[in-house]
Amino acid sequence: MTGGKTAYMDKMLETLAPRIIELGAARDAQPHGNWRYAMDADRVFWLLLDRPGKSVNVVDREVLEELNSVIDRIEQERPTAVVLRSAKPAGFAAGADINQFVGASTQDIRSMLGQGHIVLDRLAALSMPTIAVIHGHCLGAGLEIALACRYRLAVHGASLGFPEVMLGLHPGLGGTFRSLEVADPVEAMTMMLTGKPVDARRARSIGLADAALEERHVANAVAAIRSGEMRKGDAGLRRRAFSLRPARSLLAKQMRRKAAETAPKAHYPAPYKLIDIWEANGGSADAMRKAELDSFAELIETPTAQNLVRVFFLREKMRGLRSGKSAIAHVHVIGAGAMGGDIAAWAARQGFTVTLQDIDLKPIGRAIKAGAGMMAATLKNDLKTRDALDRLIPDPDGIGVAHADLVIEAAPERIEVKRAIYQTVEPRLKDGALLATNTSALPLEQLSDGLADPSRFVGLHFFNPVSRMQLVEIVSHPDAGDETLRRATAFAVELSRLPAPVRSAPGFLVNRALTPYMAEALLMVGEGVPKERIDARAEAFGMPMGPVELADRVGLDIALEVSASLREGLDGDFPETPAWLVQMVREGRLGAKTNGGLYEYEGGKPKKIHVDAIPDGAKDDADLEDRLILPMLNAVVAALREGVVSDPDLADGAMVFGTGFAPFRGGPMHYARDRGVDAIVRRMEELAEKHGPRFRPDAGWQALT
């Protein structure tokens, strides 16, 4: 056990149970492996979840089986109350151990969940008050354990949620009915349908928690519950109303419409399954219990759940690329434009000291104002927002360069501009400091030409918007040092971002794959295919945004620059930029940022006609979906063949987290294998014959067969 962990447990136990007897047993003995317990002088049974060798608790069959044994002891000891909480500083529990679902049959999973239900039913049936004290993350199965307790005390800073929908599932250990019994049914269903967590105060206001309090008040709250001074609140009118089928049916219709806006039923069945079982069985906990088990077991075998579980493991694999710490505390960002400002603000939000430099004060001011809005929206805490803003320091004179552990250049995409910055900055870097570029396409070999020490130069390619896009491409070049790449990778993870190691090459991986997707869409616009139809077809495939709108969002001027760079740097066929698009850029119609491009924009949203309102006879193309998607796959295959990215799993992860490539398909290479590599090659050959050599399949497909 680490010193920090021991100190945390000592402080927690001292605060919560000053009169605990056998305190050593609570911290050191392991009578049940994952659980530690002790009885205090008031005969309160303190039960701590503390999985050995893990920084966070996760729930699996072993945890539940051991809990079952502890309940045997509780029934024998008959304490005055039971307090259940976590010994981990990170929180209560991060959810179920997803590994237990891999390779398990439907029957295995149903049996596992059924046994879990029995254990939590026993916990819920204990005659004495049972109290879950929740700090940090309390998600999924962790929240379901807490819900089996009679009381829940949420410590400020706690985050409670049901993220199962992100894996194509819904709660499976009683959460579907226990949450509805204690919380506002509409709020509980919303949590399960969206996967979005709530904080301690919100949990209290919707009935999910009985109190939201500071850690120092927990012991007193436990004493108040044990003495009967704190009582459960009334079930509430809304909960009673939704025990009736007509009320549930009315709300279920609204929920299905809302779910369809972001999660089409054909691709994401879990929300609709949950709505169905609640509408049919929400008036009976026993009926919901059986329906929950049956529905979960069916969902776990769907391609959507299997692929979303795959994406979960891709995320873990990318996080696992970190080796050690970055030793970066101070970040200096040069360029306060959209990307530079966002990078600076996000780094400050994540705890780094950041100095932000630009040749003009106005963009620095805009960046700090935008950063303040992002921090307020994501931190949801005035004190934390203030502290983060204190770490974001305007630095028009570049004083921070000499003190920074990492300098990130986010200047315009022109080699001569970036090189001029490096010539000024490199001599001022302190020993051990790294120099990084956020270029999206320029070759690092050319950018590093002229550096005295190119070994500490690296690409850190963030994606817009930085606060939402999880990927950072870690771009290497022949002279980059191993330690530089290691520290850059660690820094990305410390930013709560996913690193994707790529080799310097035109467009790296993500832009190389995304550009033909957008380019083909623009060719079809020129052919007369309605742009709304193109976007709708891409979104139906599972892309988060259609390629026409994406080009507008990126900026048509930027899209032209990247396209020209790729055409110049890549051998082979690449679609020519339409003359009409070049003219639009000359006229200053650059997309969303000028409120006009391929679409007109109002309030930041494109004005689109609904696809069903497209006039009869408007041009369509039976090949439309494949014309968009297959060039993207072909570019990924080429990048794999050339060694731009090391393996198909990393390529899939980069494309899912960098472009939003349909997560329920598991990534482009996984989709290709599911569809059939030979079938895709034949299809591309057909498209090449019909539409031109740009569809010729890359030689790398042969290695995937």
Would you name the residues annotated as active-site residues? Answer: 144, 164
Residues 6+ apart with CB under 8 A from 459: 436, 437, 438, 439, 444, 473, 474, 475, 476, 477, 504, 508
Residues 6+ apart with CB under 8 A from 324: 486, 490
In angstroms, the Cα distances linking 220 to 16, 17, 130, 156, 223 are 8, 10, 15, 16, 5
CA distance 148 to 152: 9
- Residue 1: CB atoms within 10 A of its CB come to 13
CA distance 688 to 682: 10
CB 546 within 8 A of CB 563: no
Please report how the helices 361-379 and 338-349 are oriented relative to each other, as an axis angle in degrees rounded to 10. 40
Q: How many CA atoms lie within 13 A of 626 on its CB side?
A: 20
DSSP 364: H
Which strand ranges, in their side-by-side order, compose the sheet holding 137-139?
91-93, 137-139, 159-161, 198-199
Residues 6+ apart with CB under 8 A from 403: 330, 332, 355, 430
Query: For residues 231, 235, 237 and 243, what is the CA-based torsion angle, rounded to 10 degrees?
Result: -170
Retrieve residue 457's tokens: 């130069």
- Residue 185: is the preceding peptide bond cis (ω within 30°)? no
In angstroms, the Cα distances linking 38 to 7, 33, 49, 133 are 18, 14, 12, 16
Please report how the helices 175-182 and 285-299 are oriented relative to each other, as an axis angle in degrees rounded to 10. 140
CA angle 5, 10, 13 (to 5 degrees): 120
CA distance 205 to 186: 13
CA distance 557 to 584: 9
CA distance 531 to 524: 8
CB burial string 95-115: b at 16+ within 10 A, e below: bbbeebbeeeeeeebbebbee
CB 690 within 8 A of CB 623: yes
DSSP conformation letters of 649-696: HHHHHHHHHHH---GGGT-HHHHHHHH-HHHHHHHHHHHHHHH-GGGP
CA angle 416, 418, 419 (to 5 degrees): 65
Retrieve residue 280's tokens: 């049919």
In angstroms, the Cα distances linking 289 to 95, 117, 286 are 19, 8, 5
In angstroms, the Cα distances linking 700 to 515, 656, 681, 703 are 19, 21, 11, 6
Please report how the helices 303-319 and 648-659 are oriented relative to each other, as an axis angle in degrees rounded to 10. 100
Torsion sign over Cα 61, 63, 68, 69: positive
- Where are the extended beta strands (E) located within 493-575? 498-503
CA distance 326 to 323: 9
CA distance 152 to 209: 5
The DSSP bridge partners found for residue 436 are: 408, 458
